[in-house]
Structure 1
Amino acid sequence: MTLFKRITLGLVFLTMACQLMTPSEGVTSGSLDLSSFPWKTGKAIKLHGEWKFFPHTLGELPPDASYALIPVPALWNEVPLRSGIENGKGYGTYILDILLPHESQIYSLYLPEVRTSFRVTVGNRVVLSGYPGPNKQTTKPSAQGQSFTFAAKDKIQIKIEVSNFHHKEGGLPNAPLFGTAEAIQNYILAESTMDIALTGALFMFGLYHFILFFYRNKQREAFYFGFFCLVFALRLPFVGSKTIYAMFPNIPWELVIYVEYASVFVLGILFLWFVDGLFPRFIETKLIRYFSAFVQFILVYGLIIKPEFYTEFEVVFQVLGVVYAVFLGIRLYQMVVKGLPDSHIFFLGYLILFFGFVYDVFLAYTGEGESSLSQIAVFLFFGVQSTIVTLRTARTFRKKVLLKEEFETINEQFILTNRFYAKFIPRDFLTHLGKESIEEVKLGDSSEREMTVLFADIWEYWDIIYSIPLENRILFTNSYLGRIGPCVRKNNGFIDKYIGSAVMALFDGGIQNSIKAAEDIQWELESYNERRRGFGYLPLHAGIGIHSGDTMLGILGEEERLESTVISDTVNLASRIQGLTKKYNARILVSLTSLMLHEDLDTIPYRILDFVRVKGKQETVMIAEVLIPGIDSISDQKIAYREQFEAAIFDYERADFASALNGFREVHKNNPDDIAAQIYIERCEYYQSAGVGEDWDGVSAWEK
């Protein structure tokens, strides 16, 4: 489901909820006349207005009990003189008399969260949230709203007993909702559906950004925004309609309140890190770290003490939140003034988010209940974030196009000068060094980057070299190398150097380019061998080794003699992998960690070949053999029996040599030219007789 559809769905449910509810206009002096209300419209009524309130009274009311008229919704803290409760902690009973039509029908009453427990009585129906008592010991807090249905006619009396000794605020922060059973059910369904839809949208949006960060781990903003979305999704069931109770009816009240409070601080710090990721160093990192430490203190502090203590600081938290939001807004505005890319769009989204949450904080502070404005603001902010991601992606694409055009223009300008030199130092190498021309290269220039290294060499090279006249050796070598270069360049790579008949090529576009280049080289050699056979020459077999990792490209030598080169363990490992191709009679060998980075791995037939250890290092490297369908019968047989081969490999690693031997023999029987299977047969037979020690790990050490 697209983001636009999610926003539309959420707005539809919000509109439905608003249409199903209408404020009452006649709740005065503890009574309401609904005898002529048009119930057929399917709307429910929010029971706003003046209710009778009997302070310090629970259970049966004495006939001469005194009462006051206090507004609903309102907290006792806001009307201490009328409620008779100064600090919000106490108990009392609300009474509302309602006149109904003479015809009996099924009604329903829905009471959202109360500070902190209540008992509702209508006729002979009673429903509880927690347990209200006259003191802290007998009161059991709960944040769960309740609804129930009853049959009535002529008149009813709604009695709500409220008790609070565990929270700073007491009273009715939300007005009860009254209407036909169908109307109330539709309202609750619309409210819950919107919460669930928003939670799901937040979760998916967070997951999307985590995946984006996984593939582009330099985009820190994707990680923090994904984390922000997941925390927000976790928070939603704990606020508003408290849908968490639908999943966990017995969840502790203290945990619900803690998550409601603590998640606000976590969201605040994640949002700061997210902004820092979008606009690096524009907000002091030290300041963000100090705030992060403060948030960690608050989270631990909230776990140690009870809600009745830390809720006392709610106003302080709200003021700090507003100060934090204003400060961040000022910094974002400064970004807009300085003209940072996307800052104006982000600032607009932040304003939407800011006013949505400030409005909800204002409602919470004044005790006028809750709204869905913050949820709408979140939806709109999602749209802003998606716009920024789209713009940055488009900008990156445009930059690549512009860079390509710029490179072509520069190439034309310097083509006469660089045509000859580029044959010695590839232009791609200059590009990676950030140079426009070879004249700019100087000793010590370097660039560190992640690249894929490909080594290719002919197995029979020296046998052929020593069998042909001296004057033909260069011609033969160039004839072979002339077929390698186009395969590399066609797949967005470049040749860094030639080492006799060996070719070292570099790829910056991912492992898939190097794999495709290796396959093209093998097919090109097959075509070349057909021509050689026609002249009675020996066919050529090339082994190719591939590995990806960090590399250092640079210029070595001295002032009068420069050479481009690449220095890294990646080069060393790729060369050693290539050296194993002849041992296993394998066309293409790749380190498995590099192969796993292929974007379309399922399209490549390969088999795990061996676990090896580089000489002088303790790290184990798993190598895989990339197989080419149709290139020869040996490769086709390897593809056909690769599952049996890999199963035998893992038996071998577990030192189950009997099972491994059976597997390798089966593979070798069907493909006698599978040298790897033959090698493992010999290994298994040896270890079966010689045995292995407790430190067996199945790894083959590289001696050369």
Structure 2
Amino acid sequence: MTRQKLIYFSIALLTMACGMVAPSPQIQSGTLDLRTFPLTTGTTIALHGDWKFYPGVLDVPSDATTASYLPVPGLWNQVPVLSGFADGKGYGTYVLDIKLPEENQIYAIYLPEVRTAFRINAGNRSLVSGEPGITKETTTPSAQGQSFTIGAKENLQIQIAVSNFHHKEGGLPSAPVFGLGESVQNYILAQSMLDLALTGAIFMFGLYHFILFFYRSKQREAFYFGFFCLVFAVRIPFIGSKTIYAVFPNIPWELVIYIEYASVFVLGILFLWFVDGLFPRFIDTKIIRYFSAYVQFMLVYGLIIKPEIYTQFEVVFQAIGIIFAIFLGIRLYQMVRKGLPDAGIFFLGYLVLFVGFVYDVFLAYSGEGDSTLSQLAVFLFFGVQSTIVTLRTVRSFRKKILLKDEFETINEQFILTNRFYAKFIPRDFLIHLGKESIEEVRLGDSSEREITVLFADIWEYWDIIYSIPLENRMLFTNSYLGRIGPCIRKNNGFIDKYIGSAIMALFDGGIQNSIIAAKDIQWELEKYNERRRSFGYLPLHAGIGIHSGDTMLGILGEEERFESTVIADAVNLSSRIQGLTKKYGARILVSLASLLVHEDLEAIPYRILDFVRVKGKQETVMIAEILIPDIDSISNKKIANRGQFEAAIFDYVRADFVSALKKFRSVIVDNPEDLAAKIYIERCEYYQTSGVGEDWDGISAWEK
């Protein structure tokens, strides 16, 4: 298997492992209701939330009532008032009551590492990791996770007795995983496969670079990077899901913790020597030697003292590590500025590694364990740094053709990836955020600016959808949308969202482009209808609403799922205006306030249509109908009767219903298909009979 395939395979496993745990319903006051939750095969849930907690108790009666509540995952040190353990030392029991469906099913529970021993009880099953006790002498620590299956229905109580006297932190750093028996076992298998895949892939990285060093002994960076990979490959089974227990079930807990901590120091010094091999003398060798001596001292120190002592300094180690990483990053950036060969790609890989390292420190500080993201960052770093060493070897043997092919392949993949992502987050959106590429986007990025928002939708969409076979519905929708998109883009707009058959498009730089785009959409729809008529299909009618205003463009979501979006009152109003198009029989409606700032207003055929108050808005909005000459006879007659129609509207607003009714009827005589005139005739006839009050303002309130 090539290194490229190893990377793809590992990333696929990472993605699969991320998607196997679904967000669970909210656990409140130690109770979780899963009676209506779709627990299907292949889906597991993490039991996050507030569990009941009984400090100083290892055996809790099933009917116990007095309890405090602790967040899971979480460490006792973080909530000393709730847990009662300011230093993380002590023992207690977590309790969760789960309401299940009435039918009996086989469920499974998986609990990863606990600080530092636990016993889990559920129904008639019980398993331990280590041996929880009430004193240090009666407690046997362990970092091994446990799982078991159990048949249950209606109600299930889970009790997790935890004790910690050997580590600076106590509690549940990871949430238990719950689901159908097969689903949980598949989740555990996926985690194990992920660790094995990463271990094997990184081990192969190391072996590959040792072979390079064997044929080119002067290439010291290959030796140190190979050593770095091997140490990291050894470290992986000792962290995360602790797969080392699958091979050595009786391995001492102290050794597991020591390797987890000591390997970090070894990796740090090997990384420094690797940098020195790539860029000789750019980092003072004396600094590296001093740090090497410090690492040797820490390794011996960790062997002599107990984990409960040296884990107390974890925050100090992390702070020193971050300071060191920042210092090294500054030096690497200086190398990039000086134009050293391969400095740019090395700095990129280092940034990836730095992000993963800082994220791991954050999770460790918050008590949430290791992350798949950090593992992926490290793996990508290996790929980047391995590429550097390979490129240098290729240069040494003057394989210029192979080097050229490799660069072209990587560049092609990069371009294809960016083109693919551009279909989800338009480049125009990135420009508004001040970003050059999708890689720069971060959660919370935003930009405030005035934007014109266009909503377009088919009036007959759902009637058509329900009248055609299921397999044709997506084809029909995409056939329509495929004609709309080009009309938006060629007029300097971009589509922000698809909502069924509806589109939400954004235009920067004035309202004129959006109006042209709206007209193009209507003309394109006319061409599409000609084709539909030739096949005997009903024609389509699309309504378009436009409004301009201040908007906030940004990135919403969470760390694992981003989405570009627009938050603004203008979005809601343009959607509401679009919803009125069918009521008035109008192709295009626009707020008059937005239309009046058009650069060439005199060139646009339009007519004032109504004074409305849409749902969710208190203020009045004056809307106008954009008219398209020669698109149909109805539009041409609307243009011809525009003056008469607007005069009638102003009579209507002044409550002169006799004059308004006369003029609206004159419009209808010439254009019987003018729905707006018909609406006003009905209103005038009603108000002539019922009368209006002193607060009459002529405003139409639409609640839908």
Paired letter, 1:389 = V
- Change in 2 beyond 3 A, CA 1:261/1:169: same
How much does 1:2 deviate?
1.2
Match of 2:644 in 1: none
How much does 1:26 deviate?
1.7
Paired letter, 1:289 = R
Match of 2:380 in 1: 380
Name the CA distance, whole Å, in 2 between partners of 1:18 and 1:202: 20
- State the secondary structure of the residue aligned to 2:78: coil
Identity between Structure 1 and Structure 2 (%): 72
**Residues 319-358 of structure 1 aligned to structure 2 (within 5 Å):** 319-358=319-358
Paired letter, 2:126 = V
Q: Is 2:169 the counterpart of 1:183?
A: no
**1:52–1:67 contact (8 Å) kept in structure 2:** yes
**Residues 134-533 of structure 1 aligned to structure 2 (within 5 Å):** 134-397=134-397
- State the secondary structure of the residue aligned to 2:7: helix
How much does 1:64 deviate?
6.1
Paired letter, 1:136 = K
- State the secondary structure of the residue aligned to 2:77: coil
How much does 1:390 deviate?
3.8
**Residues 542-557 of structure 1 aligned to structure 2 (within 5 Å):** none
- Change in 2 beyond 3 A, CA 1:383/1:121: same
Match of 2:123 in 1: 123
Q: Is 2:16 the counterpart of 1:16?
A: yes
**Residues 75-94 of structure 1 aligned to structure 2 (within 5 Å):** 75-94=75-94
Paired letter, 2:300 = V
- State the secondary structure of the residue aligned to 1:77: helix
How much does 1:66 deviate?
3.1
**1:13–1:194 contact (8 Å) kept in structure 2:** yes
How much does 1:40 deviate?
2.2
- State the secondary structure of the residue aligned to 2:120: strand
How much does 1:62 deviate?
8.9
Paired letter, 1:213 = F
Name the CA distance, whole Å, in 2 between partners of 1:175 and 1:16: 19
How much does 1:242 deviate?
0.4
Paired letter, 1:24 = S
Name the CA distance, whole Å, in 2 between partners of 1:142 and 1:360: 22
- Change in 2 beyond 3 A, CA 1:88/1:397: same
Name the CA distance, whole Å, in 2 between partners of 1:400 and 1:76: 58
**1:262–1:299 contact (8 Å) kept in structure 2:** yes
**2:25–2:33 contact (8 Å) kept in structure 1:** no
How much does 1:376 deviate?
0.8
How much does 1:65 deviate?
6.2
- State the secondary structure of the residue aligned to 1:108: strand
Instruction: List per-residue Cα deviations over 1:676-697 (Å, max 9, x = no partner).
Output: xxxxxxxxxxxxxxxxxxxxxx
How much does 1:63 deviate?
6.0
**2:41–2:183 contact (8 Å) kept in structure 1:** no
How much does 1:369 deviate?
3.1
**1:174–1:370 contact (8 Å) kept in structure 2:** no
Paired letter, 2:183 = A
Match of 2:34 in 1: 34
Match of 1:25 in 2: 25
**1:168–1:308 contact (8 Å) kept in structure 2:** yes
How much does 1:17 deviate?
1.6
Match of 1:111 in 2: 111
- State the secondary structure of the residue aligned to 2:280: coil
Name the CA distance, whole Å, in 2 between partners of 1:400 and 1:19: 42
Name the CA distance, whole Å, in 2 between partners of 1:21 and 1:355: 24
Flag the structure with larger Rg: 1
Name the CA distance, whole Å, in 2 between partners of 1:338 and 1:173: 44
Name the CA distance, whole Å, in 1 between partners of 2:397 and 2:12: 36
Match of 1:96 in 2: 96
- Change in 2 beyond 3 A, CA 1:66/1:378: same
Match of 2:446 in 1: none
Name the CA distance, whole Å, in 1 between partners of 2:301 and 2:383: 35
**1:54–1:65 contact (8 Å) kept in structure 2:** no
**2:212–2:393 contact (8 Å) kept in structure 1:** no
**Residues 565-580 of structure 1 aligned to structure 2 (within 5 Å):** none
- State the secondary structure of the residue aligned to 2:40: helix
- State the secondary structure of the residue aligned to 2:157: strand
How much does 1:398 deviate?
5.2
How much does 1:57 deviate?
0.7
- State the secondary structure of the residue aligned to 2:374: helix
How much does 1:25 deviate?
2.8
Name the CA distance, whole Å, in 1 between partners of 2:50 and 2:379: 36
**1:175–1:369 contact (8 Å) kept in structure 2:** no
- State the secondary structure of the residue aligned to 2:118: strand
- State the secondary structure of the residue aligned to 2:202: helix
- State the secondary structure of the residue aligned to 1:39: coil
Instruction: List per-residue Cα deviations over 1:591-623 (Å, max 9, x = no partner).
Output: xxxxxxxxxxxxxxxxxxxxxxxxxxxxxxxxx
Paired letter, 2:236 = L
- State the secondary structure of the residue aligned to 1:160: strand
Structure 1, unaligned stretches of length 5 or more? Answer: 402-704
Paired letter, 1:12 = A
How much does 1:397 deviate?
5.0
Paired letter, 2:4 = F
Instruction: List per-residue Cα deviations over 1:102-130 (Å, max 9, x = no partner).
Output: 00010000000000000000011000000
Instruction: List per-residue Cα deviations over 1:32-69 (Å, max 9, x = no partner).
Output: 00011112253101000000000011124496663211
How much does 1:388 deviate?
1.4
Worse overlay, 65-74 or 87-96? 65-74
**2:117–2:131 contact (8 Å) kept in structure 1:** yes
- State the secondary structure of the residue aligned to 2:91: strand
Name the CA distance, whole Å, in 1 between partners of 2:19 and 2:394: 41
Name the CA distance, whole Å, in 1 between partners of 2:62 and 2:20: 37
Name the CA distance, whole Å, in 2 between partners of 1:370 and 1:34: 28
**1:132–1:139 contact (8 Å) kept in structure 2:** yes
Name the CA distance, whole Å, in 1 between partners of 2:63 and 2:237: 42
Name the CA distance, whole Å, in 2 between partners of 1:20 and 1:319: 33
**2:60–2:93 contact (8 Å) kept in structure 1:** no
- Change in 2 beyond 3 A, CA 1:129/1:400: closer
Worse overlay, 56-65 or 351-360? 56-65
**2:115–2:171 contact (8 Å) kept in structure 1:** yes
TM-score (norm 2): 0.56
Name the CA distance, whole Å, in 2 between partners of 1:49 and 1:293: 45
Instruction: List per-residue Cα deviations over 1:324-362 (Å, max 9, x = no partner).
Output: 111111110010011100000000000001101210111
- State the secondary structure of the residue aligned to 2:25: coil
Paired letter, 2:151 = A
- State the secondary structure of the residue aligned to 1:40: coil
Paired letter, 2:371 = S
Structure 2, unaligned stretches of length 5 or more? Answer: 402-704
Paired letter, 1:372 = T
**2:131–2:141 contact (8 Å) kept in structure 1:** yes
**1:73–1:369 contact (8 Å) kept in structure 2:** no
- Change in 2 beyond 3 A, CA 1:194/1:62: closer
Match of 1:424 in 2: none
TM-score (norm 1): 0.56
How much does 1:14 deviate?
1.6
How much does 1:16 deviate?
1.6
- Change in 2 beyond 3 A, CA 1:155/1:399: closer
**1:117–1:130 contact (8 Å) kept in structure 2:** yes
Paired letter, 1:46 = A
Name the CA distance, whole Å, in 1 between partners of 2:388 and 2:171: 44
Name the CA distance, whole Å, in 1 between partners of 2:303 and 2:161: 30
**1:93–1:160 contact (8 Å) kept in structure 2:** yes
Instruction: List per-residue Cα deviations over 1:141-170 (Å, max 9, x = no partner).
Output: 000000000000001000000000000000
Q: Is 2:61 the counterpart of 1:68?
A: no
